């Protein structure tokens, strides 16, 4: 299995993110997506985790299954929420026993269960724990516009610099303006941190998803909303999707031209938008409609 830090040292990486299925129907959708995206040859894939025993097992099973039944290089997410330090250590040891070498260390959103344990309050403590156990390539999260709970952007950048001093790389929350990503990288450079920061990409393919984007971490800027709405007027059925793919492709080109070490796609467990952006960027072999390599 490859370590993501080694992959980044060798050149640009292109990666996808999935979430563990909660039902047989979601499992079917994800299985189809994995079949369709595997021919793109991603450098690695990541699997999200919300905390708690059920999510822990789903993430572990999916990561382990990818490792042993596909050619994909998986990375497991792990959060501080709803776990004691001992439980987190046990999870990390279990991942290593399964052969997993890559982990994304996250603080996690507050648990709705007021009585849920949480002995580690910040992601940097989880990075320290993973380092103490050993054997992992460790990533952390970065917020191009700052974490919503942070008292200010400078404070957020200081905390991120501290995390990255211990971790190997970062992956950003999705964003829509290239200057937000480039500003993040420049701020970290000014703090003496030049480790790889992978930009997170999530295309907007439906007008209905625009309000949800703000609650997920980044609001769609007004100029972009106008362009998407104009596309809907021109072609009500497919216009927004095509426009969203074009906008995401433009963003990818801008950050790559600005020196980004790769791209990380939030797939929402479906493949079509990622495949279209890949082809627009000239990253993928020619694919058939089914997602297989055309001969």
Work out the number of other CB atoms within 10 angstroms of the CB of residue 85.
Answer: 15
Q: Residues 6 or more apart from 187 whose CB is under 8 A from it? A: 157
Listing DSSP states for 11-72 in one string gives S-EEEEEE---SSHHHHHHHHHHHHHHGGG--SEEEE---SSHHHHHHHHHHHHHHHHHSS-
| CA 185 – CA 179 distance, rounded (Å) | 10
**What are the DSSP E strand ranges found in 50-146?**
74-79, 102-106, 137-142
Q: Which member of 17, 36, 101, 180 is catalytic?
A: 17
| CA 174 – CA 199 distance, rounded (Å) | 7
Task: Clarify whether 17 is annotated catalytic.
Answer: yes
DSSP label at 74? E
The closest of 44, 70, 40, 199 to 137, measured between CA atoms, is: 44
Residue 91: HSE in the Cβ half-sphere, 13 Å Cα cutoff? 32
Catalytic residues: 17
């Amino acid at each position: 299995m490859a370590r993501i830090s080694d992959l980044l040292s060798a050149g640009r990486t292109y990666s996808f993110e999935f979430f563990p299925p909660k039902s047989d129907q979601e499992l079917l959708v994800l299985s189809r997506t994995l079949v369709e995206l595997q021919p793109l040859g991603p450098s690695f894939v990541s699997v999200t985790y919300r905390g708690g025993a059920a999510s822990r097992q789903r993430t572990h099973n999916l990561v382990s299954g990818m490792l042993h039944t596909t050619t994909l290089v998986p990375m497991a997410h792990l959060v501080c929420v709803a776990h004691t330090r001992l439980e987190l250590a046990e999870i990390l040891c279990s991942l290593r026993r399964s052969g997993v070498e890559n982990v994304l260390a996250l603080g996690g959103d507050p648990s709705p269960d007021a009585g849920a344990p949480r002995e580690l309050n910040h992601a940097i403590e989880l990075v320290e724990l993973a380092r103490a156990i050993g054997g992992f390539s460790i990533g952390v999260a970065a917020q191009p516009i700052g974490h919503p709970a942070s008292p200010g952007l400078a404070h957020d950048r200081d905390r991120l610099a501290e995390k990255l001093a211990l971790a190997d790389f970062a992956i950003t929350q999705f964003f829509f303006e290239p200057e937000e990503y480039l500003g993040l990288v420049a701020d970290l450079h000014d703090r003496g941190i030049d480790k790889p920061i992978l930009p997170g990409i999530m295309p907007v393919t439906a007008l209905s998803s625009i309000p949800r984007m703000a609650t997920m971490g980044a609001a769609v800027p007004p100029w972009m909303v106008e362009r998407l709405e104009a596309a809907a007027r021109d072609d009500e059925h497919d216009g927004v999707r095509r426009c969203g793919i074009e906008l995401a492709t433009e963003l990818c080109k801008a950050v790559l031209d600005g020196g980004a070490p790769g791209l990380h796609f939030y797939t929402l467990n479906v493949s079509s938008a990622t495949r279209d952006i890949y082809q627009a960027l000239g990253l993928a072999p020619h694919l058939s409609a089914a997602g297989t390599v055309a001969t």
